[in-house]
Amino acid sequence: MDQKFIPLSVPNLKGKELEYVTQAIESEWVSTAGSYINEFEEKTAAYVKAKGAVSVQNGTSGLHIALKVCGVTEENEVIVPAFTFIAAVNPVKYIGAEPIFIDCDDSLCMDADKLLHFCQEECEFEGRELINKKTKKHIKAIIVVHIFGNTANMEKIMNVANEFNLKVIEDATEAIGTYYTEGFYKGKYAGTIGTIGVYSFNGNKIMTTGGGGMIVSDDMELIKRAKHLTTQAKSDELYYRHDEVGYNYRMTNIQAALGLAQLEQLETFIKTKRENYLYYREQLNTIKGLTLLEFNENIRSNYWFYSLYINEDYLLNRDEIISFLASKNVQVRPVWDLINEQKPYLKNQTYKIEIASHYLHHIVNIPCSSNLTKEDAQYVIECLKSPKKV
């Protein structure tokens, strides 16, 4: 019998998804109105202990709105990570602003020390505005991405933001359920520390609504404005009057029904993913040349993705591992090419991109679905124990 295909990351839909979606269909509220949307917003906010939440069509639209409500304009620049999915940075261009790329550290998240050094060395702080010496533009915000369920060093980053009057937009699209267990932000969830946070419920995320996302904040004025903008900026519902350019970004009732069922299972998903991560780590770290990257010690991660680090002692390099495991019916993927090296961003400013360039060529993500069985994980491990060039 052929080995079954083991995907990288797929949804786990074994809860009340069908029940809730059926109820939404039977109610005939299937579009961007319906009780499930409000309930999903309320329960997501309660889960992450945020004061308010606004549903959106996806994480990208959430970041776009987050930039808008934080006052970023085409006159501004935004500090962003080089090491992340391009959807974290594209919304800066939607606004008409320009990104500045910062390196990652060994957590794969933005390097907080390099962020500080950039602000100190490459900028001037004038009248509560951080001015880029090179471009003379006002740097308005930072987009911080919590990579693979890990967390950036938010204590240091928030200190930088407070010192230089910068808005902090947390891209927690990969990190719902991750929270600090120690330190200044003990008990705080990823996405709830900065000015505003965004989650994604894409099909490969730890919980999914097919597409979809959520904006969260403790600033209810920002939440109110975000909801206004995501619902076409209607100032008069009855007579269809609009006071500014809005967006058709609101989540559908069917998506929200899925989301509620997924949210009910999120802690179970995290428990399973943690167990699988620890099992992989124990086995893979015994193979010469392979190491499963750790999550920060001061957090409870959601363990979304597992990053396998390959050094020169292993028989295969990154691309050879991808090809070899594909031949064994196992899906793995490399991390993203650095955004500053992508065609739309070649002319944008960068600052000391070093660590990101290294990890780019030494990491693959291995199967990590919350419905991954121990037998499937063991098969992946056995394949990696006996590598062959194909």
**Using one digit for the tens of pLDDT, what is the confidence trace for 131-187?**
999 999 999 999 999 999 999 999 999 999 999 999 999 999 999 999 999 999 999
Q: Any alpha helices (H) in the chain, and if so which ranges?
A: 17-27, 35-48, 59-69, 90-95, 112-121, 154-164, 220-230, 253-284, 318-327, 355-360, 374-385
The Cα 209–Cα 216 span in angstroms is 17
By residue count, the chain amounts to: 390
CA distance 111 to 232: 37
> What pTM does this model have?
0.97
- 8 A C-beta contact, residue 39 and residue 272: no
Name the residue with tokens 């060039």. Answer: 389
What amino acid is encoded at 375 in this protein? E
The 3-state DSSP class for residue 158 equals helix
Question: Domain residue spans in the chain?
Answer: 17-262, 266-385
Q: What is the pLDDT of residue 245?
A: 95
CA separation for the pair 75, 297 (Å, rounded) = 39
Contact 355, 102 (CB under 8 A): no
Residue written as tokens 């990101």?
Answer: 356
**Cα distance between residue 48 and residue 369, in whole Å:** 22
CA dist 80 and 333 (Å) reads 23
pLDDT of residue 3: 84
Closest by CA to 186, choosing from 296, 265, 44, is 296
344-364 in b/e form (b: 16+ CB < 10 A) is ebeebbbbebebbeebbebbb
Average pLDDT in the 84-111 region? 98
Q: How confident is the model at residue 1, as a pLDDT?
A: 55
Evaluate if residue 14 carries a pLDDT over 60: yes
Question: Is 266-385 a CATH 1.10.10.10 domain?
Answer: no
Q: Do domains 17-262 and 266-385 have the same CATH topology?
A: no
Is the pLDDT at 289 greater than 80? The verdict is yes
Nearest Cα to Cα of residue 157 among 195, 123, 126: 195
* pLDDT band per the 50, 70, 90 thresholds, residue 111: very high
Q: What is the CATH number of domain 17-262?
A: 3.40.640.10
State residue 112's pLDDT score.
98
The answer to whether residues 59 and 84 touch, using CB atoms and an 8 Å cutoff, is no
